[in-house]
Structure 1
């Protein structure tokens, strides 16, 4: 069974913004921390793919 990873859904800037907004609106510090981590990982993966494509 596959494990859910939010990063798989954060493929656009809009998706990242919506994820962070929802976490901030919830107000739970643990959720905000998790959302920031997910967005950072998503952006890092996107940068890695872009760099690999340009090499």
Structure 2
């Protein structure tokens, strides 16, 4: 009995796996936070609470 190689299915399986990995990597990316003024943020919360 001969062995049939399913090339298209293998390619599709690899593509699906690759897409899942890339989606997870995209979700794990976080923007870098630079120069955050904590006092200004606290002041804005105090203003919202007072209003």
Shorter-chain TM range is 0.3 to 0.5
TM-score, scaled relative to structure 1: 0.45
**Structure with the higher helix share, 1 or 2:** 1
Q: Rg bigger for which structure?
A: 2
Structure with more relative contact order (C-alpha pairs < 8 Å, separation 6 or more): 1
